[in-house]
Amino acid sequence: MAYMLRVSVVVVGVLVTAGVASAQSQAHFEHGQKVFATQKCAICHSIAGQGNKKGALEGVGSKLSTDEIRQWITHAPDMAAKAKAERKPAMKAFASLPKEDLDALVAYLQSLKK
């Protein structure tokens, strides 16, 4: 009986932890969407057909690593040169984004997988 009680407590603990993590990741996702909108990324990029279709970001999370996405945001000219990207106008670097905003935007873009 004591064993069943311990197992039940562990299962409940795991479910609560998973629920909290899920709520946190949802909040992070929503914050990333807000940063995308606030920084006016849709002027040059689109997600789900919304925004500039020339810079579609569908599937970017499957194509680029988290670090590569971060580098594209913070060091865009360097990444464009590395990728031999010649899109006009060239993407500017958003190196001054607050860490919390940058992390949320990277997480949001990383979630965009086909």
User: What's the chain's average pLDDT?
Assistant: 84
Alpha-helical segments (H) within the chain: 2-38, 60-63, 66-74, 76-83, 99-110
Higher pLDDT, 86 or 36: 36
- Of 52, 96, 105, the residue nearest 74 (C-alpha): 96
Q: At 29, is the pLDDT very low, low, confident or very high (cuts 50, 70, 90)?
A: confident
pLDDT over 70, % of the chain? 78
pLDDT (average), residues 102-108 = 96
Give the per-residue pLDDT at 24: 59
The C-alpha atoms of residue 39 and residue 68 are separated, in whole angstroms, by 19
Q: At 22, is the pLDDT very low, low, confident or very high (cuts 50, 70, 90)?
A: low
Which residues form the domain of 17?
2-110
Indicate which CATH number applies to the domain containing 14: 1.10.760
How many domains does the chain contain in total? 1
Predicted confidence (pLDDT) per residue in 47-86, tens digit: 999 999 999 999 999 999 999 999 999 999 999 999 998 8
Q: What is the pTM of this model?
A: 0.77
Positive or negative, the CA dihedral 10, 16, 19, 25 is: negative
